[in-house]
A and B are shown apart, each in its own frame.
Chain A
């Protein structure tokens, strides 16, 4: 590895650690009941996000989904103000009014949405504005594998291709949409779908931050040079399930819950009238299979993008960077907890 390569990896690894710790801080705030509503974490997406966002500068814009905190952190939005927003503080990024699914910063030209597919059209608009301004800015859309079945995202991909907009579409493929396996419901498959719009598609291992960064650099350069949009298809894990308290994760992690869930299903197997027994058994198998697949996806068994990046750095360096990130997040978290307590 060249020395600039090492420097780049160090910067990326630092961002990944900042993201990971921020996500864990969010989980803590949520578990303590300080953050309300649903909570979707971006754990597992660190390499994808850090690799892409590391290529952006002040000319650029981002349209995000409800796993938006990683991109905000990597883009340099103030950590404390993100966390304050998530606890609903008036001093939060959006005054406590948007919350974790709707984080936005006008200053950074980033906006998140909880509606699946929404980042597509928004990024097209950001891209159109960037091109019109003529300073070489690009727009990035982050979305999941399930979102490619949403009409507005398909329309946006076509519009970007037809207008040759400077947009980078980043599909974070974790293979699941809540409790549904995307492969079962994506006709033609993800790669062919995303590759069907006449724009280049780069498929990368989203756990390998350097591959992502290199692919994103090419996509961003194309956009800046006026050569149109690109799709990045990056696979990544979903160790926490869809959201915190994910029912499938709970099913497989707590024996008590499993028993409580299975009992009524056993009753459904025999009650009449209904489908033939073979069909009923196959339904039970389907549910069990999903729960088991989610369990296989769980933290210990997936290869962690952070560990992967750390292995490519000298041990002392990676440890030092992790400590820096951890301190920064802990300081922010301490301030937020203090504020939350004094408000309560």
Chain B
């Protein structure tokens, strides 16, 4: 299988979807430059630059989806969805329920998310927990090029609406666009296995709501998604040096959530550590704990999350975002506090 970057993988999946299905259109601010490959190949009628009017843009995409198109609508950063939330929350998410399943909106909302490059707390949020809490919305967060391509294909072909979040640290395209490539001495902790990887030709769809076990291990389950998966894999290596076998589960999708995979792994390991770049409260990490409790899984539980507004200064930011040191500390505490099932 050929190796490509995360951004190329997304571009390829998009091109494939646009080739197969003339109903797929791309709408968003600056997309004729950002997605210039698709613009040149498919022309002006299928790649439309939007005014800075996210509310109208999301609503337009919804209407178009209801009337038979399959829009991929881009919101620069997920943070900016704030100005258009009504269209997702009260409209896109409600359609199928309000019509008793008779009407669906096959709509993909594409947005960049995540931190680690010093853009501060208004441009680096994750927000997948907030969005996934609304019934009727699917939310996916790929951690590899293959999953990025596969989840995008499944999202475009599915019944929608799906929020597709691309972590900026995985996307060379985004880091370049934001100016990262044009200066020296700036280092971002980009996980190599997330930024580049093998992608099928053609890319293979990845069904929504199916987690991937990235690493086997019986002592401890690290449950994560997006860039967090790579931080977990790094921590798992270090834990192995200490004789601890940690499994790493990549959820890939926040909604629908792969409850079965979480429950099974929780039962098997007896210790669950959720690593979630999103905020602590009211989100994914708490949801995982609730799922375990609801299924009577008696596992020890801890979480490493973003507990406050992401600060601008790189050193402060590094400490606030889930990092390997914090994962290791939380893992050690779990092993000490719940020594029972070790080995």
B30 to chain A: which residues have CB within 8 Å?
Answer: 177-180
A contacts with B, residue count (CB < 8 A): 63
Smallest CB-CB separation from B82: which chain A residue? Answer: A115
- Check if A96 sits within 8 Å of B313, measured CB to CB: yes
- Check if B52 sits within 8 Å of A89, measured CB to CB: no
A102 within 8 A of partner (CB): yes
- Check if A101 sits within 8 Å of B179, measured CB to CB: no
If A149-B52, A275-B42 touch, whether A39 touches B179 (CB-CB below 8 Å) is yes
B311 to chain A: which residues have CB within 8 Å?
Answer: 96-97
B192 within 8 A of partner (CB): no
Per a CB cutoff under 8 Å, which of A89, A96, A151, A185 touches B83? A151
User: B39-63 toward A: CB 8 Å interface, digit per residue (1/0)?
Assistant: 1111111110111111110000000
A30 within 8 A of partner (CB): yes
CB neighbors of B among A147-200 (8 A): 147, 149-152, 177-180, 184-186
- Check if A36 sits within 8 Å of B123, measured CB to CB: no
B contacts with A, residue count (CB < 8 A): 54
- Check if A88 sits within 8 Å of B37, measured CB to CB: no
- Check if B49 sits within 8 Å of A180, measured CB to CB: yes
Per a CB cutoff under 8 Å, which of A85, A117, A282 touches B52? A117
B119 within 8 A of partner (CB): yes
* Assembly CA distance A185 to B57 (angstroms): 13
If A96-B311, A146-B52 touch, whether A33 touches B33 (CB-CB below 8 Å) is no
B43 to chain A: which residues have CB within 8 Å?
Answer: 274-276, 279-280, 282-283
The segment from A10-18, A222-230, A284-292, A320-328 found at the interface with B is A284-292
- Check if B37 sits within 8 Å of A268, measured CB to CB: yes
User: B115-159 toward A: CB 8 Å interface, digit per residue (1/0)?
Assistant: 001111111000000000000000000000000000000000000
- Check if A37 sits within 8 Å of B123, measured CB to CB: yes
The segment from B88-96, B180-188, B200-208, B323-331 found at the interface with A is B180-188
If A88-B315, A185-B51, A284-B40 touch, whether A33 touches B184 (CB-CB below 8 Å) is yes
- Check if B179 sits within 8 Å of A244, measured CB to CB: yes
> Min CB distance, A43 to chain B, in Å?
15
- Check if B44 sits within 8 Å of A96, measured CB to CB: no
> Min CB distance, A300 to chain B, in Å?
20
A134 within 8 A of partner (CB): no
Smallest CB-CB separation from B187: which chain A residue? Answer: A33
* Assembly CA distance A31 to B179 (angstroms): 10
B176 within 8 A of partner (CB): yes
- Check if A99 sits within 8 Å of B56, measured CB to CB: no
B80 within 8 A of partner (CB): yes
B36 within 8 A of partner (CB): yes
- Check if B83 sits within 8 Å of A88, measured CB to CB: no
- Check if B186 sits within 8 Å of A33, measured CB to CB: yes
- Check if B41 sits within 8 Å of A271, measured CB to CB: yes
- Candidate in B50, B183, B313 with the most chain A CB atoms within 10 angstroms: B313
Smallest CB-CB separation from A144: which chain B residue? Answer: B52
Per a CB cutoff under 8 Å, which of B19, B34, B117, B122 touches A273? B19
- Check if A150 sits within 8 Å of B53, measured CB to CB: yes
- Check if B32 sits within 8 Å of A287, measured CB to CB: yes
User: A254-290 toward B: CB 8 Å interface, digit per residue (1/0)?
Assistant: 0000000000110011010111100110111011001
- Check if B185 sits within 8 Å of A116, measured CB to CB: no
A102 to chain B: which residues have CB within 8 Å?
Answer: 120-122, 312
- Check if A31 sits within 8 Å of B118, measured CB to CB: no
B178 within 8 A of partner (CB): yes
- Check if B120 sits within 8 Å of A178, measured CB to CB: no
Smallest CB-CB separation from A88: which chain B residue? Answer: B313
> Min CB distance, A186 to chain B, in Å?
7
- Check if B29 sits within 8 Å of A33, measured CB to CB: no
CB neighbors of A among B1-49 (8 A): 19, 29-30, 32-34, 36-37, 39-47, 49
Closest 9 pairs (CB-CB, A-B): A36-B118, A245-B179, A99-B312, A88-B313, A275-B43, A33-B185, A279-B43, A245-B182, A37-B119
Interface residues of B (CB under 8 A from A): 19, 29-30, 32-34, 36-37, 39-47, 49-56, 79-80, 82-83, 117-123, 176-186, 309, 311-316
